[in-house]
Structure 1
Amino acid sequence: MKHIDWEDFQKVSLQVGTIVEAEVYKEAKRPAYILHVDLGEEMGIKKSSAQITSVYSPNDLIGKQVVCVTNFPPKQIGKIMSEVLVTGFPNSDGQVVLCTPDMGVPNGSKLY
């Protein structure tokens, strides 16, 4: 893996938000949810598509804080425009487990 410098890292905006709504993305080619993530006053609520249906139910997700990449350009994913990338790690089965802070922090807080 190639090393990056501090300036490269500073280009990525990683912010925390709270999932306020999670719905089954019925039109998705692979099972997915549409997540509505509250990223605080400055950014508001943004949408993201996430293939996490094998690990989480919609009810499990409401109120969960997640780390998001907020400075990718919006991306059309099927019928929705994904506005942020919700981050996660693969578990031992290769299913995505969300990246979350272990304590509550204000929505919109930046990772550093």
Structure 2
Amino acid sequence: MLTLEQAVTIQILHQQGKSIKAITRELGVSRNTVRKYLRQNTTPQYQRIQPRISILDPYKPYLLQRVNAAHPEWIPAVVLYQEILRLGYPGKIRILRVYIATFI
């Protein structure tokens, strides 16, 4: 699949009177690809994918509660990691450290 910029470039070059063969040489794509994008009446639109769910998401309320409870003090990520491991967290500590860093 071409980028939106490439698809628009194909349309513009075609409107300027360039042949399919000239467009393929200029952009480095196949003739069938150029034909496909010329047949489309609209420019392709990017579709947003569903945001990925983190394996840390089920434990975030607990972590937020723990951080807020110890607010003037700081709980090390290693301690929080050990606590959520007991709750069934399957991930690594690096994900937790990145999340905890947002509270600083």
TM-score bin, normalised by smaller chain: under 0.3
Q: Which has the higher contact order (CA 8 A, sep 6+)?
A: 1
Query: What TM-score comes out, normalization by structure 1 length?
Result: 0.22
More strand by share: 1
More helix by share: 2
